[in-house]
Amino acid sequence: MKYIWGLLLLALMACESNSAQNTSNFSTLAVAEFKQQLEKTKNVQLLDVRTPGEYMEEHLENALNIDYNDPNFADQLNNLDKNKPTFIYCLSGGRSNNAMNTMKAKGFKEVYNMKGGILEWKGSQFPLTKNVFNGWKGMTKEAFEKITQNSTPTLVDFRAKWCGPCKQLKPILDELAKEYAGKLNVVEIDIDENKSLADDMHITNIPLLVYYKDGKVAMNIEGFTEKKDIIAALKLQ
């Protein structure tokens, strides 16, 4: 009898294990299937993992841009909802495939990668959004709002590669991102790569830290600021 009960227990554990494994879905889909799945799935996240320059020229409508080659790519994924279906693409499929593996390791539940990337999408003559037609450069306002309208407070670092104080501030912000993971999202926005957004927000001095809480601007911190002063200003615990 004990032997039989042991077998039943093992079977039950196996079923539970299989059930747990089936809660995640990571798939690479041909472009037509990707488009079909994207259109029929509700409440999705669409992610373009190419460079900001590539994204600026053309991208899928409503896509958010996070550069896979950015050293902070994995950290920036924390701005996304890991429980929402996420669709990703790049130019030809290589970067997005690697990005999908990173997302899997970070606990995302459902990720669809476009096979062949945007080249296959264009080859199929599917529609694209082009920012150049209206002179807009870089991240759209809609994409920026998706980042800042988050349940987790978000600290946006407006910066530039040529800015000395920005370089000094970066390691401090990297430390804050790690120390307050889950409590604070830290996002970098290069004002040269995202000139139109910076102009629209009337950003004239950098570095500039803009703190968003409950989707609204709660505070601005201008210039290089010591770590302890940032923590005190944001009242981080």
Active-site residue list: 163, 166
For 46, phi and psi rounded to 5 degrees? -115, 125
* Cα separation, 206 vs 159, whole angstroms: 6
Residue type, 226: E
DSSP readout, 165-207?
Answer: HHHHHHHHHHHHHHHTTTT-EEEEEETTTTHHHHHHTT--SSS
Distance of CA 128 to the CA centre of its chain: 20
- The CA-based diameter of the chain, rounded to the nearest angstrom, is 78
Strands (E), the chain: 25-29, 45-48, 64-65, 86-89, 110-114, 154-159, 185-190, 208-213, 216-222
Contact 140, 153 (CB under 8 A): no
Asked whether the bond before 165 is cis by omega within 30 degrees of 0, the reply is no
Alpha carbons 105 and 111: distance in angstroms, whole number: 12
Tokens 């306002």 belong to 141
